[in-house]
Amino acid sequence: MDSTAARRAAEILWQHWRQGARIDALPESIRPHTRAEGYLVQREVQACAGQSLFGWKIAATSSAGQAHIGVDGPLAGRLLAQRVFPSGSEVTLAGNRMRVAEPEFAFAFARDLVPRATPYATREVLDAVASLHPAIEVPDSRYADFVRAGAAQLIADNACADYFVLGPAAQGPWRSLDLVAHRVRAQVLDRYTREGGGANVLGDPRVALTWLVNELSGIGVTLNAGQVVTTGTCMVPLEIEAGDLVRADFGALGSVEVRFGR
């Protein structure tokens, strides 16, 4: 795939994203068929959007999530700055067909992690982290049948990114907590509650974070200071409707909430 084909594919995806529309698949002549080609298109989607990069997301960080969309591992996507909101915000569901909210552990970085030949260890990655945040991701896809799109097309589609809600930085010694065993309780107020925890995120949110850093390193992308990485849902995604208020309680790590406009 050359840069012209990647740009054409990105223009189609961004147009459908803006319009809340769906496509069955990208045209065969400009369809990515490898993860590397998918990331090339993804980069062009950000260029088409004309938005700065707030950070990164990870999709499919559980075996159930991977099986659901037919992939054999996690996928990285870009968080576009104009689609990021602070806790307590109202977010629209107009055009969103997935209609789920995903409580997640998110990490903000204090310094750059540049591409290199040897993989980063989890200890090195955590040394570069400034803060841990509770977060809620609101994903969506531009494909009518995203479970059959395949990894390359899903990566091109920004790994199903849409909106992202970031809670305040956790206070206290979060680095000493056992994030694997850490429990999270979410409420879709007046309707139901659901629980999850860090073990649902590739076995450990810190492992997922390290995966993301090494995935970017492998495609020659620097994770920059100030960027945020959200590590994937820590529970079965919450089914939501317009008018819902979702609150995720991360215990000692704080809480985050978002309302979905009618």
**pTM attached to this predicted model:** 0.96
How would you classify the pairing of strands 163-166 and 84-86?
Answer: parallel
Is the pLDDT assigned to residue 51 strictly greater than 90? yes
Domains annotated on the chain, with CATH = 53-260 (3.90.850.10)
Whole-number Å distance between alpha carbons of 149 and 125: 31
Taking residues 80-90, report their average pLDDT: 98
Mean pLDDT of the chain: 97
Is the pLDDT assigned to residue 62 strictly greater than 90? no
Whole-number Å distance between alpha carbons of 251 and 32: 42
Angle between helical axes of 35-49 and 3-19 (0-180°, round to 10): 60
Token pair belonging to 88: 């307590």
Helical ranges in the chain per DSSP H: 3-19, 35-49, 63-69, 122-127, 151-156, 205-218
Is residue 2 exposed (0-12), middle (13-18) or buried (19+ Cβ within 10 Å)? exposed
Is the pLDDT assigned to residue 112 strictly greater than 90? yes
Q: Kindly indicate the confidence band of residue 64, based on its pLDDT and cuts at 50, 70 and 90.
A: confident
Whole-number Å distance between alpha carbons of 83 and 104: 16
Name the residue with higher pLDDT: 253 or 65: 253
Q: Kindly indicate the confidence band of residue 24, based on its pLDDT and cuts at 50, 70 and 90.
A: very high
Residue with tokens 């055009």: 95
- Model confidence pLDDT, tens digit, residues 121-166: 999 999 999 999 999 999 999 999 999 999 999 999 999 999 999 9
Residue 35: per-residue pLDDT: 96
Residue 69: per-residue pLDDT: 86
Distance set, CA 40 to CA 5, 50, 157 (Å): 10, 16, 11
Is the pLDDT assigned to residue 104 strictly greater than 90? yes
Cβ atoms of 174 and 196 closer than 8 Å: no
Residue 72: per-residue pLDDT: 86
Is the pLDDT assigned to residue 185 strictly greater than 90? yes
Q: Kindly indicate the confidence band of residue 169, based on its pLDDT and cuts at 50, 70 and 90.
A: very high
Percent of residues, the chain, with pLDDT higher than 70: 100
Is residue 198 exposed (0-12), middle (13-18) or buried (19+ Cβ within 10 Å)? buried
Whole-number Å distance between alpha carbons of 251 and 41: 38
- Model confidence pLDDT, tens digit, residues 207-254: 999 999 999 999 999 999 999 999 999 999 999 999 999 999 999 999
- Model confidence pLDDT, tens digit, residues 2-20: 999 999 999 999 999 999 9
- 137's enclosing H/E stretch is strand 129-138
